[in-house]
Structure 1
Amino acid sequence: YIKGYRAVLDRDKLGFSLVNVISVTLATHNRDNARRFGELVARLPQVQEAHALTGEMDYILKVVTPDLKSLSEFVNSVLLPHESVQHVKTAIVLETLKETGALPI
């Protein structure tokens, strides 16, 4: 049941104080495009979480960046130019009320 152990690093002290939630819509909906997007996300260290969704958007990402300029570069130089991506919408987290990896057992 235990998948591993890890240190919990302090984002702020390491210079990643900006937490961003980014929704992504794919250009086309097929297996190859989803695979290409998955490969992109897998190699991006600033993406802490990535979830495929039902509904209006295809994916939601939790991304950490040092500042707004880095967020802008990430969106405009990494996500938007990628062949699999059609639309990106960003939201900056103002305050984290709860963050845990614990399960309700």
Structure 2
Amino acid sequence: MIDHTDARLLEALQKDAHLTAQELGEVLNLSPSQAGRRRQRLEAEGLIQGYSARLDPTKIGLTVQAFVQVTLGVHGPEHGRGFVTLVGTRPEIISAWTLTGDADYLLRIYCKDLSALNTLIHEILLPHPAVSRVQSQIVMDQFKRDAPLPT
């Protein structure tokens, strides 16, 4: 369980992971050592899984974002594992979920252009022996960026 101070610490770090123990202490009204120990405990307990930089996809040449729903035609454990392994090897697929409903998986994809997305769908995903259907939605605009998790 996390208390109110832990929740505020997590909120602050999601906004700026570079905060020092001194700065965290100021935000939380704690000493730097107390703030640092809290951060270390939350890291050790796995609430904080890591730190990363958020990149602007268009500035690094990734101009197409898409969500792709994948339906498997065969649902044996080995087929699911094979598809999950394939997804893990593709850097264009930045996140993936198992779903309820019509589709089995939802993939979030960034590609440099529509041709690259077409290649991924038609030459990589559809030929997989377990895949029976792929449906893609191309993102026109993302009006809300990925937000921090509510604490």
Same fold (TM over 0.5): yes
Residue 99 (structure 1) aligned with residue 120 (structure 2): no
Structure with more relative contact order (C-alpha pairs < 8 Å, separation 6 or more): 1
Q: Give the whole-Å Cα distance in 1 for the aligned partners of 2:133 and 2:68.
A: 10
Deviation for aligned residue 1:101: 4.9
The TM-score with structure 2 as length reference comes to 0.67
Residue 14 (structure 1) aligned with residue 60 (structure 2): yes
Deviation for aligned residue 1:99: 2.5
What are the residue-to-residue correspondences of 1:66-81 with 2, within 5 Å? Answer: 66-81=112-127
Q: What is the SS of the residue equivalent to 2:74?
A: coil
Paired position in structure 2 for 1:83: 129
Question: Percent of counterpart pairs with the same letter?
Answer: 36
- What residue ranges of structure 2 are gaps of 5+ in the alignment? 1-46
What are the residue-to-residue correspondences of 1:51-70 with 2, within 5 Å? Answer: 51-70=97-116
- What residue ranges of structure 1 are gaps of 5+ in the alignment? none
Deviation for aligned residue 1:9: 1.2
Q: Which has the larger radius of gyration?
A: 2
Contact 2:65 2:138 in 1 (8 A): yes
Q: Give the whole-Å Cα distance in 2 for the aligned partners of 1:56 and 1:81.
A: 20
Contact 2:75 2:130 in 1 (8 A): no
Q: What is the SS of the residue equivalent to 2:124?
A: helix
Q: What is the SS of the residue equivalent to 2:83?
A: helix
Question: After the TM superposition, which parts of structure 1 deviate over 6 Å for at least 4 consecutive aligned residues?
Answer: none
Q: Give the whole-Å Cα distance in 2 for the aligned partners of 1:11 and 1:47.
A: 13
More helix, by proportion: 2
More strand, by proportion: 1
Q: In structure 2, give the amino acid aligned to 1:25.
A: T
Deviation for aligned residue 1:97: 2.0
How many residue pairs match? The answer is 105
